[in-house]
Structure 1
């Protein structure tokens, strides 16, 4: 994408500056006003909050009670990278697990991302198209749904876009690149923070090397200082939190041709979800696919022959999530949405031959996009989210806390082990991914000292029989959950002489 260094590219009119501020405030208020109550069963939030709670207690961050199951590696790693938990720790220390406040914190992070995007893409798009980009991102149903989840992507995308902004400021003008060592160290710090927030940030160092090699045909001092700084900061993290981010490599065994093809379909198709109208899926696909092709064309035009750091990093990121098992759908391509929409608007600016044609094409795109947004929110569910705060779930948590012994080695088998570990502060392990695999269930129970098992009414009908075969008996139930404990062994009657 052409980086303009003209006065028009860096200085907006007062009207445009005011419009940006008003737009950012409107997006923030919209997101806060439409927040749904409660949180869902996604276990990521629980593991991050558990790590944050340990930070507030000056306890080992990764001693969360979550017991990693090799037969269910995709549930979550043994420990998450530490930066997002450190970010959550002050909020948790002050207010505890107040999900409404935590979601507002996520919206604040999204607002920071939008602000960085507005500055970054303002050097590549016209001011009004930059405003359009911010609006398309901020009001998108994709980001609205993300803001209901307390997950590390919110913070990761801040560092992702900040790294792009710093590099653009320092190096994208190849005629006058900055070789400032402090600036290079700052970029290295931001790259480390991205990796320390989400492990997938490991694509940034090779992306930086490739970008520098393509643009400057050599290993530059700026690049070497940035990479060295990122490695140094990461080494400090590993010294302080040795197990942070561990467990991901176990998922390599899950990579298959089928998983790669599925991820390619799911991740590639998720770009069309920008135009989800909440009513007709076929219309979303029928229009989203050709629009996405236009965005790809704009991307190629913008990055040839001098690719941006954002482009190279996005390509590597997409390749990684396609290869990695379980890395599918909207959440996985979250960092790619800003560039995707920017390249779409760039195509609207560059491909039409006249100003009138550009105005018509861009206006039609925006009218259709915001028409889809309006339709989606009209049909959207704004009710309370069903999850671990529901009475039935709270009841089973109380029963688990009562029925488990104080033995720190005892483990509870639960379909969302990280959630139970957070709420009950007991060790918990997840069921094997293949619930029909009797050997995997036996390994899980026998190798991890499982003393309590919880099932759901919606579980496969054969699961109770499998637990019974492992010597478990149902001892409690409500409308949604059942608790199983090992059947007490009958005492042997001494034989008569």
Structure 2
């Protein structure tokens, strides 16, 4: 078949695939959320902005951290970037979880769209669209759009920042470009603190330019300094308007050890293998990682800002003493990019052209789409994810909100969620029931959670047998039991 007709039909066919995938993301939206209460942390901050209750929220969060059994489970405040974006939705739609999920999906679509200008001069058009399609059809990113967290918005701002750095490096930058770049890089840092690594990418580019030119004129110093001046002014304005509490998260570094680093390396190896494909067995995993390393080192200088940013992310993930697969979502697109570059280089070296790379990409793309289709086929819109949006959870939150004093302290295994949904101070106490009695006015037990971040229900039953007037059951449904804690005197 002649090549020209293929090109004519390829673009609308590709657009149709993207449209179908996009509609599938929107179709997946349900008015629910899981129990991970980071999302409630962000939403509480967004609401506090719209209601001018930031000081009260800080008081609640400080109490939660000090009273809880887990010392390091939460910062006082999350970085303000994501709550600010959420607050715009809150103004128009209130606490509508569907509206927040639409915003998350929108940022994921914007990120995928940003990949085209960022990589269009680095990958040929076939591999570039495979790259975007593979991420679009990733079941991991698909599932991550069902939670209201900051990873996907951060990816958009990181990609935008890298694109601006790339333009800064490849031309005589305009004043507007340098000012906008400084603002974007700063705001990315206020979405997630990993955004500071973008400044490392910019610094690496500037250092290479300085080594190349070796002549420092007034124009050179302006080119170097203006992005940082712009970022500095924006940061000063930002922190003058918004309280900073996320710096307290650096306390977690006290937990870093040789054992945590070794565990992180193991989890990184297995985690990236899962993101490439659940079907990736050990021999194939080694080949894929080999292609990544080949692509990374062969393109390191040509893609310097992306390389430095990725190295920084990997260093953070290795050092950080906790691990969740969602952290790897920040770096996987760039690992995938270098893997594709390695595949293209290998194909050119052995087969004198991209045909082999196209073939491998096509097979991987078909597998990804089939896996995505099967994943979507198992989706049931009628179910509600276990979490704060089940009927039983809503009943419990309603009871707390309507039948407890506004200054009551409620002990619960997800305290930030209880604070958001019931507007009460809360703490997560799971070590000793005596601490629950002395700290709380009410205790909510999740009936089927056992000792998961709460006092085991069996311990509660034994305590009530010893002190029958101390814990008074005031509410019960199939998921929760609420006890009022009687105070002496």
TM-score if structure 1 supplies the norm length?
Answer: 0.83
Paired residue for 1:343? 338
SS of 2:321 mapped into structure 1 = coil
SS of 1:205 mapped into structure 2 = helix
SS of 1:151 mapped into structure 2 = coil
Paired residue for 1:455? 445
In structure 1, C-alpha distance between the alignment counterparts of 2:427 and 2:24, rounded to whole Å: 38
- Residues 111-122 of structure 1 correspond to what in structure 2 (within 5 A)? 111-122=109-120
SS of 2:231 mapped into structure 1 = helix
Paired residue for 2:481? 482
> CA, structure 1 residues 83+488, in 2 after alignment: closer, same or farther (shift >3 Å)?
closer
Greater Cα offset, 479-488 or 340-349: 479-488
In structure 1, C-alpha distance between the alignment counterparts of 2:196 and 2:437, rounded to whole Å: 35
Paired residue for 2:3? none
- Residues 14-413 of structure 1 correspond to what in structure 2 (within 5 A)? 21-60=15-54, 63=57, 65-66=60-61, 67-70=63-66, 71-171=69-169, 173=170, 177-214=171-208, 216-217=210-211, 221=221, 222-277=223-278, 283=280, 287-303=284-300, 305-326=301-322, 328-352=323-347, 353-355=351-353, 356-379=355-378, 383-406=383-406, 408=407, 410-413=408-411
Q: Give the CA deviation at 1:484.
A: 2.8
SS of 2:417 mapped into structure 1 = helix
Contact 1:411–1:428 at 8 Å: present in 2 too?
yes
In structure 2, C-alpha distance between the alignment counterparts of 1:287 and 1:266, rounded to whole Å: 17
Contact 1:273–1:288 at 8 Å: present in 2 too?
no
Question: Over residues 413-439 of structure 1, what are the superposed CA-to-partner deviations in whole Å (9 max), with x where a residue is unaligned?
Answer: 1111111111111111223xxx4x44x
In structure 1, C-alpha distance between the alignment counterparts of 2:71 and 2:126, rounded to whole Å: 46
Paired residue for 2:418? 420
In structure 1, C-alpha distance between the alignment counterparts of 2:275 and 2:9, rounded to whole Å: 28
Greater Cα offset, 371-380 or 188-197: 371-380
Contact 2:181–2:227 at 8 Å: present in 1 too?
yes
SS of 1:294 mapped into structure 2 = helix
Q: Give the CA deviation at 1:488.
A: 4.3
In structure 1, C-alpha distance between the alignment counterparts of 2:158 and 2:463, rounded to whole Å: 45
Greater Cα offset, 373-382 or 335-344: 373-382
Question: Over residues 220-240 of structure 1, what are the superposed CA-to-partner deviations in whole Å (9 max), with x where a residue is unaligned?
Answer: 643432233223212221111
Contact 2:130–2:361 at 8 Å: present in 1 too?
no
In structure 1, C-alpha distance between the alignment counterparts of 2:418 and 2:195, rounded to whole Å: 29
Question: Over residues 76-105 of structure 1, what are the superposed CA-to-partner deviations in whole Å (9 max), with x where a residue is unaligned?
Answer: 211111121111112112112222222122
In structure 1, C-alpha distance between the alignment counterparts of 2:9 and 2:117, rounded to whole Å: 16
In structure 2, C-alpha distance between the alignment counterparts of 1:467 and 1:203, rounded to whole Å: 51
TM-score if structure 2 supplies the norm length?
Answer: 0.84
In structure 2, C-alpha distance between the alignment counterparts of 1:129 and 1:414, rounded to whole Å: 49
In structure 2, C-alpha distance between the alignment counterparts of 1:238 and 1:486, rounded to whole Å: 40
Q: Give the CA deviation at 1:17.
A: 6.0
Which structure 2 segments of 5+ residues have no match? 1-6
Greater Cα offset, 152-161 or 247-256: 247-256
Greater Cα offset, 224-233 or 330-339: 224-233
Question: Over residues 335-355 of structure 1, what are the superposed CA-to-partner deviations in whole Å (9 max), with x where a residue is unaligned?
Answer: 212212222222222211333
> CA, structure 1 residues 22+370, in 2 after alignment: closer, same or farther (shift >3 Å)?
closer
SS of 1:483 mapped into structure 2 = strand
Contact 1:412–1:452 at 8 Å: present in 2 too?
yes
Paired residue for 1:5? none
> CA, structure 1 residues 285+373, in 2 after alignment: closer, same or farther (shift >3 Å)?
farther
Question: Over residues 445-488 of structure 1, what are the superposed CA-to-partner deviations in whole Å (9 max), with x where a residue is unaligned?
Answer: 75xx4222222222223652797699951423322222233334
SS of 1:464 mapped into structure 2 = helix
Q: Give the CA deviation at 1:372.
A: 3.7
Greater Cα offset, 44-53 or 465-474: 465-474
